[in-house]
A and B are shown apart, each in its own frame.
Chain A
C-alpha cells in the first residue's frame, strides 16, 4: 500500500470513528502528499462515512456514532474547501431537494440522509425542517433537481406530506419523490403517490440509485 493510500485509509477510519481533529490533520497530510482534493473527499471522507453507515446497518453503530461520523466528515470538508474548486464541491453530483415537511421539526433522520447522500456524491439542497409545500416545489424549479426527498416523524403532518407529494407530481418534468420517517410504511408511501420509501438513512443512496435508473 502506498503512502497516499495509507493516509486515505487512516482518514476514512478517523471519519468512521468520529475523530474530528485527526480528520482535519489527515486531510492536510493527504494534500501535502500530493493527493487531489477530490480524491481525499471521495476515498477518505466519503469512504469513512460509508463504513459508518455499514456499521449502522449491522447494528454495531447507533445514531450517536453515526452523527459523530457525520460531524467528522463535515469537518474534513471544511478543511478541504479552500483547496477545492467551486465546481468540484457544488456541481459534481445529482441534485436532491431534501427537507422535513411543514409542521414537523424532527430532523435527525433527514440530516443523516443528507450526509449519506453527500457521501455517495449527491448534491444535497437541504431546506431544513418545517418546510412548506411551495418552498419544496420552488426549490425544485430553481435548482433543476429531479429528486425530492421528504421526511416526517409525526402522524399530524402526513396530510401536508401528501399535499407536497401531489404538488411535486404535477410538476413537469415530474421529479422522483421519495419519503421516509417513523409513521410511514411502503404502503402509505405508495398510497401518497411517492415513488419510493426509505426505511433508514443508510439505505437512501441505494434507493435513489435504483429509482434514478431508467427515469425519464
Chain B
C-alpha cells in the first residue's frame, strides 16, 4: 500500500487505541517472524517488545553521499533528497525515514536570507538577520507553508517518501520549535538577550511563527506522515532556564503538539541540548517518543532515565555523535550494546545517535549501529 487510504484528500488513520492493539499483535508476530520497520517502531512506541530493537541512524546530510548529490541539491530538491533517504535505509539499514533537511527551513520561508554551501548544511546568512532590530519582531507575517518554497519542499519530500516506501517505513515530519525558528532569524545571542529585555516583543513574533507551524504540522499530517517530530533545542542547560523555556516556547510548542494529536498523528520530540528538561517537555508536548543527546537534568544515569521516564515516553538517542567520527565499528557496537542492555528491556526504545549522524563521517559506523541492533538487539535481550 502506498500510504494510508484517503477520504476527501485526508489520510484515514487508525486511532491511538487501534495503534496500541496493533502494536500488541506485532509483538506476537515478532516472536515468530521478521517485522517491517513501521511495525517494529510502532511496537517500541507503545512499550511492546518487537522482534528486535529498532534503529534510527539519523543519516541526514550524510545520506546525500550515497546518491552522489551536493548539499545544495539535497537542500532544495525533494526528489533528490527522497532518493538519498531511501538509499540510506536500503544500503545502511535503519527503520525510520526522515524529512529533515536543515534547521533553517522555516526561517527561510519567513524571509531569512540563506547560504547554501556545497559540502555543508544550509544555514541563515547571519550577517543579514531578518530580525535586525527589536522592532522587527512585530513585522513577521503568517503564510501558508504548503505554498512556501522550503517548507513546501519538505512536505513534498514527505509525500514522495510515503508513496515510494508505502507503509514499510514510518515517515517522520520534522518541525523546528518556535524559539528555534526565531533564533534563525535573529541570531541566538541577540534572541536570548531580547527574551530577558523585551519579552513581549519576542512573543509577538512567536505568536505568528506558531500560527504558521501549526499549519505546517497539519500539512505534514495531510501528507501522510506517521509522526511529526518537534525540536525544542533550547529546553536544556545549553539553552534557557526552565522558567524562561515554558514562557517562551513551552506554551507555543504545546499548541503545535495538540494539533498533531488532533490529526491522529504521533508526536515525537528531539532535543540535542545538554541536560534537557525532559519533565517539562513531557508536560507541555506529551510526546510518544523522545530523542535525546544527553541525560535529562534530573537523571544521573541511563538506568535512572529508564526508571523515571521509560514508561512515560519511548526513548531514543544518546550515542554521542562524535563517537561516529572517532570510534571504531567495534566501539560503536559496544556502546550500542551497553545502551540497549539498560534502555531496551520492555520496549519503548529506539537505538539512535544523539543527533544528526556526522554529515561527512565514515558510514561504516552507521552500518555498525544497525548491525548492533540486528545482532545484539533481538528480543528477548540476553542479559537485559
Contacts and interface: CB of A to CB of B under 8 A. Distances in A.
Contacts of A64: 192-193, 195-196, 240-241, 244
Interface residues of B, number: 29
B67 interface: no
A188 B326 contact: yes
Given A107-B189, A188-B322, A62 B121 contact: no
Given A59-B237, A64-B244, A155 B321 contact: yes
Interface stretch (B34-42, B168-176, B353-361): B353-361
Contact of A63 (B126, B192, B320): B192
A156 interface: yes
B326 A65 contact: no
B196 A18 contact: yes
A159 interface: yes
Contacts of B325: 155, 158, 183, 188
B324 to A, nearest CB: 8
A206 interface: no
B193 A71 contact: yes
A108 B358 CA distance: 22
A105 B125 CA distance: 9
Interface in B223-241: 237-241
Given A62-B239, A63-B239, A191-B326, A156 B196 contact: no
A75 interface: no
B189 A184 contact: no
Contact of B197 (A68, A129, A191): A68
A8 to B, nearest CB: 25
A63 B275 CA distance: 14
A154 interface: yes
B361 A155 contact: yes
Given A18-B196, A64-B192, A67-B193, A156 B360 contact: yes
A147 to B, nearest CB: 23
A107 B320 CA distance: 22
A90 interface: no
A156 B358 contact: yes
Nearest to A159: B360
Interface string B103-132: 000000000000001011101001000000
B70 interface: no
Interface in A117-138: 129
Interface residues of A, number: 29
B179 to A, nearest CB: 11
Contact of B188 (A59, A65, A108, A182): A108
B326 A105 contact: no
Nearest to B245: A62
| Most chain A CB atoms below 10 A, which of B189, B320, B359 | B189
Contacts of B322: 155, 183-185, 188
Nearest to A158: B325
Nearest to A107: B189
Interface in A4-26: 18
A3 interface: no
B293 to A, nearest CB: 9
Contacts of B120: 103, 154, 156-157
A155 B123 CA distance: 15
A156 B188 contact: no
A216 interface: no
B237 A155 contact: no
Interface string A37-59: 00000000000000000000001
A1 interface: no
A147 B55 CA distance: 43
A50 B197 CA distance: 21
A111 B189 contact: yes
Contacts of A154: 120-121
A154 B195 CA distance: 25
Nearest to B183: A108
B124 to A, nearest CB: 8
Contacts of B196: 18, 64-65, 68
26 contacts: A59-B237, A62-B240, A63-B240, A64-B192, A64-B195, A65-B196, A105-B126, A106-B188, A107-B189, A108-B192, A129-B126, A154-B120, A155-B322, A155-B361, A156-B61, A156-B119, A156-B359, A159-B360, A182-B238, A183-B325, A183-B358, A184-B322, A185-B320, A185-B326, A188-B325, A191-B326
Interface of A: 18, 59, 62-65, 67-68, 71, 103, 105-108, 111, 129, 154-159, 182-185, 187-188, 191
Given A67-B189, A156-B61, 8 more contacts: A63-B238, A63-B240, A68-B193, A68-B197, A111-B189, A156-B121, A158-B325, A187-B326
Interface of B: 61, 117, 119-121, 123, 126, 188-189, 192-193, 195-197, 237-241, 244, 320-322, 325-326, 358-361
Closest A-B pairs by Cβ, 10 of them:
A64-B192, A155-B358, A62-B241, A156-B120, A105-B126, A108-B189, A183-B322, A67-B193, A64-B196, A156-B359
